[in-house]
Amino acid sequence: MLPAEAVSQINNTLEKYPDSRSALLPALYIAQRHVGHLPLDALHAVATLLDLPDAHVRGVASFHVMFRDSPGGRHLVQLCTNVSCMLAASSGLLDVLKEHFGLRPGATSPDNRFTLLEGECIGECEKVPAMLVDSDVHTGLTAESIIEILARYE
Amino acid sequence: MSKLIDRIIPDPVRCITGISAYEAEGGFRALKKAARAGPDFVIEEIVRAGLRGRGGAGFPTGRKWAAVAEDTATPKYIICNADEGEPGTFKDRLILEKNPFLLIEGMALAAFTVKAGVGYIYLRGEYPALFHLLEDVIAQCRKKGYIGPDFMGTGADLELYVHRGAGAYICGEETAMIESLEGKRGQPRSRPPYTVNYGYMGKPTLASNVETFANVPIILNIGAESYSKIGSPESPGPKLFSVSGDVVRPGVYELPMGVPLSEIIYEHCGGIKGGRALKAVIPGGVSTAVLRSDDLACRMDFTSKCEGSMGIIGSGAVIVFDEETCMVHTAYRIAKFFAHESCGKCTPCREGTDWIRAILLRMEQGLGVEDDIRLLREVCGNIAGNSFCALGDSAAISTIGFLDKFGDEFEAHIKGKTCPFGGPV
Ligand SMILES: Cc1cc2nc3c(=O)[nH]c(=O)nc-3n(C[C@H](O)[C@H](O)[C@H](O)COP(=O)(O)O)c2cc1C
């Protein structure tokens, strides 16, 4: 089930497209924003709203790293380890996150605060290493600053 | 002459996000000129200017616009490819942050010229702040009549929308992007039919990169004649280079096409950090083959070739490595990216990219065997030319590039049974 507000937001995006199927990515974003992740019943609700088969909607959701099928932590941390960030020793920051927050790539911290993903390039290659926390970009990270930044996310 | 008229990013520190600032410095002059002179004039100017697509493949833009304009099917669409997923590339983000109206002006010119009523900006999911910025910029343009119903008094209508991707590199490939916009998994289509005739919703569609659209107002402002004299004769114009890695001043640099790689690294970026020596450069994003320090004289444009390499300019992402970088580790990290991003549609790419990743990983860990170099080349040979889209080819080009240019490092890993650089994987 989706909250009424999510349903009306999804209906509003329909006017941008010549058919309802094209509104699938925005609809999944809206559903995830309201529910926190995309459980099967949310996917079913989106499928019904857009008049699409459930299997199609599940296939598209699972294709993308931005859509999550399990709740995870309250904040999603994507630390870039691709080449430009690699050169700035971003892998060392993975060790810092493990020591300080008990965070491992692909897992959620014991206090349920963070889920960590080892990310691909986020296009911030001139201020490395870089990470995304939810929608916020943080760059030029050091072992000290990454701890200080994450401390701000409850 | 005002910098706004002939530069993509007129001022690296200023963000022109208010429409009156853009207008005050000559913005929308190109669109007004086109509305007077007509669509044929615009296409002629782009053809004469010699503009080639900045998304990586360098396709002649004038031919693309003409093909969509000539198709009689309706409705037509324009799509701006702002998926920018090639690792090391961040130039499109800079255009959108610093001079977003230039893109909108380019898209309005395109819509007017090919007679498209609706356009989408396919924005990569990792750029959430730009989503709101672009929606605001589009609203400002609509209010002033540069887009919208009967825009610029042309009698035509244009609505522009921002569509957010959700973190899949393959969705930057033109036909995968269109599938994704249609609400499907982003997997490439077979061609023909081509996007210009059979694109979004099966209709004629003009799909181009952000920087390509941004070049068109410049062509109309300074004239095709002057434009074609900037940089290389076969692929002229200004070009944005995203430079990252071990240089003193990483960043985006707007330089004439054809600038030598050495000039970018040593003059504009201040050379190698910490006084160390340069070992290698990836010239155009991780899809291009790595170069050695003796290849730096090569010119950055769509036609020049370096010893043993295919195209070098790619997305214009220059990644610089100093002498302390392990090339096996670097090759592995890139292979891991391609294996992760393979969409799974075709077997050579889906299976092959993961094999490359696995073999490079064991080499880096000191577990490689004598036969691994031959095996890697064989796997790459099975992908190249056999994959459905260029993603698989890119994985092969990257790996073979590292083997060709730094074969000694691979052998050292195998013989020494360890990474000589103390590499952590
Ligand atoms: C795997 C893959 C990823 C791509 N990613 C992008 C991208 O992020 N942005 C882009 O403009 N072109 C990308 N391209 C190139 C597009 O397919 C297409 O050539 C380009 O958008 C055409 O625009 P242009 O004529 O303006 O260059 C990619 C191609 C491949 C094979």
- Per residue in B62-106, pLDDT (tens digit) is 999 999 999 999 999 999 999 999 999 999 999 999 999 999 999
Q: How far is the CA of B386 from the centre of ligand 1 (A)?
A: 19
Mean pLDDT on B136-141: 98
Name the band, by pLDDT with cuts 50, 70 and 90, for residue B424. low
Beta strand pairing call for B77-82 and B291-292: unpaired
Q: Residue B309: is its pLDDT beyond 90?
A: no
- Find the B86 Cα to ligand 1 centroid distance in Å: 9
Q: Is B316 on the interface with A (CB under 8 A)?
A: no
B164 vs A84: CB contact, 8 Å cut-off? no
Q: Residue B275 above 90 pLDDT?
A: yes
pLDDT at B149 over 70: yes
The CA angle B183-B187-B193, to the nearest 5 degrees, is 95
Q: Compute the mean pLDDT over every residue in chain A, rounded to the nearest whole number.
A: 95
Q: What is the pLDDT of residue A119?
A: 87
- Does 1.10.150.120 match the CATH number of domain A75-151? no
Query: A14 CB near a chain B CB, below 8 Å?
Result: no
Residue entry with tokens 């589009």: B138
Q: What is the pLDDT of residues A35-94, one digit of tens each?
A: 999 999 999 999 999 999 999 999 999 999 899 999 899 999 999 999 999 999 888 999
* Radius of gyration of chain B, Cα coordinates, nearest whole angstrom: 22
Give the mean model confidence (pLDDT) for residues B235-254. Answer: 97
Ligand 1 proximal residues by C-beta, below 6 Å:
B 53-57, 59, 81, 83-86, 170, 172-174, 207-209, 212, 389-391
CB of A65 within 8 Å of any CB in chain B? yes
The Cα–Cα gap between B75 and B298 comes to 44
Average pLDDT over residues B241-256: 98
- What is the fold, at CATH topology level, of the domain defined by A4-63? Arc Repressor Mutant, subunit A (1.10.10)
Whole-angstrom distance, CA of residue A105 vs CA of residue A54 = 30
Nearest to A83 among B167, B330, B343 (CB): B330
Distance from CA of B44 to the nearest CA of A (A): 31
A125/B286 Cβ within 8 A: no
At residue A128, the pLDDT reads 96
| H helices present in A51-142, as ranges | 54-63, 83-86, 90-101
A120: left (phi over 0), alpha (psi -120 to 50) or beta: beta
pTM of the complete model = 0.97
Residue B310 pLDDT: 61
Q: What structural domains does chain B harbor? A: 4-228 (3.40.50.11540), 238-322 (3.10.20.600), 327-416 (1.20.1440.230)
Question: pLDDT at position B359, please?
Answer: 98
CB B285 within 8 A of CB B57: no
Bridge partners (DSSP) listed for residue B292: B280
The CA distances from residue B402 to A72, B290, B309, in Å, are 38, 6, 11
Best B244, B342, B350 member to test A by mutation, with max A CBs in 10 Å, is: B244
* Confidence (pLDDT) at B417: 95
**pLDDT given for residue B261 in this prediction:** 96
Model confidence at B2: pLDDT above 60: no
Nearest CA to CA, how far is A70 from chain B (Å)? Answer: 17
C-beta atoms of A120 and B169 within 8 A: yes
3-state class of B279 per DSSP?
Answer: strand
Q: Which residue type, as a one-letter code, is found at position A62?
A: S
Categorize the per-residue pLDDT at B134 as very low, low, confident or very high, splitting at 50, 70 and 90: very high
Tell the burial category of B187 from Cβ atoms under 10 Å away from its Cβ (0-12, 13-18, 19+).
buried
* pLDDT one-digit tens code per residue, B344-378: 999 999 999 999 999 999 999 999 999 999 999 99
pLDDT tens, position by position, B369-413: 999 999 999 999 999 999 999 999 999 999 999 999 999 999 999
Task: At A153, give phi and psi (nearest 5°).
Answer: -100, 115
Q: Which candidate, B207, B211, B182, B180, places its Cα nearest to that of B195?
A: B207
In the block, tokens 């409850």 appear at A154
The secondary structure of residue A73, as a DSSP letter, is: -
Note the helical H segments in B17-127: 19-24, 29-37, 39-49, 61-70, 91-98, 100-114
The whole-number average pLDDT for the span B265-269 is: 98
**Which tokens is B40 given?**
């044929």
The number of the ligand 1 atom at minimal distance from the alpha carbon of B389 is 31
DSSP label of B196: T
pLDDT on residue A89: 85
Burial letters A92-110, b for 16+ CB under 10 A, else e:
ebbebbeeebebeeeebbe
**Interface touch B243/A52, C-beta < 8 Å:** no
Nearest to B180 by CA among B166, B192, B194: B166
Q: How many CB pairs under 8 A join A and B?
A: 124
Rounded to a whole number of angstroms, the distance from the CA of B245 to the nearest CA of chain A is 5
What band does B307 get if pLDDT is binned at 50, 70 and 90? low
Q: Which atom of ligand 1 is nearest to the CA of B211?
A: 26
pLDDT in the model for residue A90: 86
Looking at residue B1, its pLDDT comes to 46
pLDDT for A101 equals 92
Chain A residue numbers with beta carbons less than 8 Å from the beta carbon of B317 are 125
Residue carrying the six token digits 């009156």: B20
Contact B250 A126 (CB under 8 A): yes
The 8-class DSSP code of residue B194 comes to P
Mean pLDDT (chain B, rounded) = 95
Tokens of A154: 């409850």
What ranges do the domains of chain A cover?
Answer: 4-63, 75-151
CB distance from B242 to chain A under 8 Å? yes
d(CA B398, CA B256) in angstroms, rounded, equals 26
Alpha-carbon distance values, B410 to A138, B233, B323, B328 (Å): 35, 39, 15, 6
**Lowest-pLDDT range of A17-31, A85-99, B192-206, B344-358:** A85-99
Question: Cis bond leading into A110, ω under 30°?
Answer: no
Fold match, A4-63 / A75-151: no
3-class secondary structure, A126: coil
CA of residue B168 to ligand 1 center, whole Å: 13
Return the pLDDT at B422. Answer: 84
When pLDDT is cut at 50, 70 and 90, the band that residue B33 belongs to is very high
Q: What is the pLDDT of residue B425?
A: 46
Task: Please tell me the distance in Å from A16's CA to the nearest CA on chain B.
Answer: 7
Residue nearest to atom 5 of ligand 1 (CA): B172
A84–B251 CB contact, under 8 Å: no
Taking 80 as the threshold, does the pLDDT of residue A149 lie above it? yes
B183 vs A16, A21, A81: nearest CB: A21
Would you state the structure tokens that stand for residue B356, as one six-digit string?
């490359």
Backbone angles phi, psi at B105, to 5 degrees: -60, -40
Find the mean pLDDT for residues B253-257: 97
Residue B179, pLDDT score: 98
